[in-house]
A = this chain, B = another copy of it.
Amino acid sequence: MTTQQLIEQIRIKKSFLCVGLDVDLNKIPQHLLATEDPIFEFNKAIIDATHDLCVAYKPNIAFFEAYGIKGWQALQKTINYINQNYPELFTIADAKRGDIGNTSSMYAKAFFEDLEFDSVTVAPYMGKDSVEPFLAFEGKHTIMLALTSNEGAFDFQTLMVNGKELYKQVIETSKTWKKSENLMYVVGATKAEYFTEIRKIVPYSFFLVPGVGAQGGSLQEVCKYGLNKNVGLLINSSRGIIYASIQEDFAQKAREEAFKLQQEMGQILETL
């Protein structure tokens, strides 16, 4: 999916919501555990109930890998289900990968070719040659960690280098990489006031924004500082939507939570 197509979807749906699929077997409704593939059945129900309210799904790869081969099978079924039934949805493999060049190429192959995701999240610590192998894929997007939403973000990301915070240097340097037009950035919602500064460095890029809801970030605040003319934001919500209920009505309740966010986003988009 191209960035332009993503923007069109946002305009059509009046939503820039991304639903995070962090499926924990200890947290899903117990009646699903009797099915052959509880993880996939849960995802399928969530996707069917929310696909018209969001523009992206973000399976969190850790939550699949923790279940070994069965988890990987559920991941494959989930991404196939989205691609076959809702090809207008943007898909994000939340994997935070990054390694030396030939290894990053293998990760890119895993997520872009084998699983056919539109995008994957990557970590910047190993630098240019750890990210460029992802950027090389035409029509795919690489979403690099810049400023994350967790407490540990302040351990290294905000240290001063060359007179600026490391995360700003990371973004600036990444702009010089080959095919950097395929980059998006992870910017946590819990630091909304930082968006102003980041927008000065990358005014046109898309940001994937975790941390709204469960982690305490405010949608209004993020939009105030982070929106650009092409929206430029994908706001992720995982637990706040998928675990809105742990009863048989979980999909309906998930839809209700997604609807609330979509309505709020629709109003915000009107002001753009």
Binding site for B on A (CB under 8 A): 22, 24, 60, 62-63, 65-69, 71-73, 76, 94, 96-104, 106-107, 109-110, 114-115, 123-131, 145, 148-157, 159-162, 166, 169-170, 173, 210, 215
Indicate which residue in B128, B151, B159 contacts A152 across the interface (CB closer than 8 Å): B128
Query: Can you list 7 residue pairs at the A/B interface with Cβ under 8 Å?
Result: A62-B97, A68-B114, A69-B76, A96-B123, A100-B210, A123-B125, A125-B156
**Given the complex, which residues of B lie within 8 Å of A215, measured CB to CB?**
100
**Given the complex, which residues of B lie within 8 Å of A104, measured CB to CB?**
62
Among all A-B residue pairs, the 7 with the closest Cβ atoms: A127-B152, A127-B155, A62-B106, A65-B110, A159-B161, A66-B106, A128-B152
Known A-B contacts A98-B96, A125-B157, A161-B161; the reply to A65 vs B150 at CB < 8 A is: no
Contact in complex: A129, B152 (CB < 8 Å): yes
Indicate which residue in B22, B100, B150 contacts A127 across the interface (CB closer than 8 Å): B150
**Given the complex, which residues of B lie within 8 Å of A98, measured CB to CB?**
96, 123
Known A-B contacts A127-B157, A149-B100, A156-B124; the reply to A109 vs B162 at CB < 8 A is: no
Query: How many copies make up the complex?
Result: 2
- Nearest Cβ distance between residue A94 and chain B, in whole angstroms? 8
Contact in complex: A153, B166 (CB < 8 Å): no
- Nearest Cβ distance between residue A49 and chain B, in whole angstroms? 23
- Nearest Cβ distance between residue A39 and chain B, in whole angstroms? 12
**Given the complex, which residues of B lie within 8 Å of A24, measured CB to CB?**
106
- Nearest Cβ distance between residue A247 and chain B, in whole angstroms? 22
- Determine the distance from Cα of A68 to Cα of B112 in the docked complex, in whole angstroms: 12
**Given the complex, which residues of B lie within 8 Å of A129, measured CB to CB?**
150-152
Q: What residue in chain B is nearest A68 (Cβ atoms)?
A: B114
- Determine the distance from Cα of A66 to Cα of B108 in the docked complex, in whole angstroms: 8
**Given the complex, which residues of B lie within 8 Å of A106, measured CB to CB?**
24, 60, 62-63, 65-66
**Given the complex, which residues of B lie within 8 Å of A159, measured CB to CB?**
161-162, 166, 169
- Determine the distance from Cα of A157 to Cα of B210 in the docked complex, in whole angstroms: 25
- Nearest Cβ distance between residue A221 and chain B, in whole angstroms? 20
Q: What residue in chain B is nearest A186 (Cβ atoms)?
A: B126
Contact in complex: B65, A107 (CB < 8 Å): yes
Known A-B contacts A96-B98, A161-B166; the reply to A126 vs B148 at CB < 8 A is: yes
- Nearest Cβ distance between residue A87 and chain B, in whole angstroms? 20
**Given the complex, which residues of B lie within 8 Å of A130, measured CB to CB?**
150, 152
Can you add 15 more A-B contacts, CB < 8 Å, to A68-B115, A156-B173? Answer: A63-B106, A65-B106, A66-B106, A67-B114, A71-B110, A96-B123, A100-B149, A100-B210, A125-B145, A126-B148, A127-B151, A127-B152, A128-B152, A155-B173, A156-B169
